[in-house]
Amino acid sequence: GESVGLHLPTLSVQEGDNSIINCAYSNSASDYFIWYKQESGKGPQFIIDIRSNMDKRQGQRVTVLLNKTVKHLSLQIAATQPGDSAVYFCAEPSGGYNKLIFGAGTRLAVHP
Amino acid sequence: DTAVSQTPKYLVTQMGNDKSIKCEQNLGHDTMYWYKQDSKKFLKIMFSYNNKELIINETVPNRFSPKSPDKAHLNLHINSLELGDSAVYFCASSRRQDLSGNTIYFGEGSWLTVV
């Protein structure tokens, strides 16, 4: 998922496979990133975050990787389940950390 | 317990009408927001309030007027609705204004359709 896009990219995976959702950012000074999950008909929900002094952070079945050299962020979901089907957004604070700017989002479709 | 609740969830109205969306958070947070999500799922901030004080107004038309009677409530009033106002409006809150290391919690959204 790029930070700017004209349409919503979709990632289709088989249940049980691992999923990798990508995000690019442009500001090399960015130092905090968040991943949100938005299920159909609901608001975005916080999944995991990472500060720029880390390269990797793990949660339950999710891992976020940060590559500051190429300004790239990824969310890895292990053993993807049907309940993981949603739109995933990367986000970062901006405007003096007063507002959250969201990427364009990636739709994850999990097939049985 | 619902942390950030907004009403109504669905709203269908005619062009030119005036409508309001209400939002309440029971998290004890200082900062509240309104975000707009378009048909392509793009999320964009509209306003933020910190302790009832307007902090951010992202060049939103004057037809949109937020009001925060106290720090637990942030309502959005929209005058003279236009077709392009059709979107999902999300209320959100955070513990404090500084978002570094600080999570934003979203409500379930209000689906506005202008016909």
- Which amino acid belongs to residue B24? E
**Chain A from 78 to 107: CB within 8 A of any B CB:** 87, 89, 93, 95, 97-102, 104-105, 107
Give the pLDDT confidence score for residue B94 in this predicted structure.
Answer: 96
Over chain A (112 residues), the average pLDDT of each successive run of 10 is 56 97 90 96 96 95 96 96 97 87 94 92
Give the pLDDT confidence score for residue A6 in this predicted structure.
Answer: 47
Give the pLDDT confidence score for residue A59 in this predicted structure.
Answer: 95
- Residue position matching structure tokens 């979709």: A10
Best A32, A36, A39, A99 residue to mutate vs chain B (most B CBs within 10 Å): A99
Q: Percent helix, strand, coil in chain A (nearest 5)?
A: 5, 55, 45
pLDDT tens, residue order, chain B (115 aa): 569 999 999 999 999 999 999 999 999 999 999 999 999 999 999 999 999 999 999 988 999 999 999 999 999 999 999 999 999 999 999 999 988 888 899 999 999 999 9
Q: What are phi and psi of B84, to 5 degrees?
A: -70, -5
Burial B63-88 (b: 16+ CB within 10 A, else e): ebebebeebbbbbbebeebeeebbbb
Give the pLDDT confidence score for residue B82 in this predicted structure.
Answer: 97
Q: Is residue A59 less than 8 Å (CB to CB) from chain B? A: no
Instruction: Give DSSP secondary structure letters for B47-99.
Output: EEEETTEEEEE-S--TTEEEEEEETTEEEEEE-S--GGG-EEEEEEEESSS--
> Which residue from B48, B103, B105 is facing A98, i.e. has the nearest CB?
B48
CB contact under 8 Å between B107 and A43, yes or no, is: yes
CB A1 within 8 Å of CB B69: no
Which residues from chain B sit within 8 angstroms of residue A105, using beta carbons? Answer: 41-43
Distance between CA atoms of B105 and A66, rounded to whole angstroms?
Answer: 23
β pairing state of A56-58 and A45-51: unpaired
Q: Percent helix, strand, coil in chain B (nearest 5)?
A: 5, 55, 40
Chain B nearest-CA distance from A18, in A, is: 24
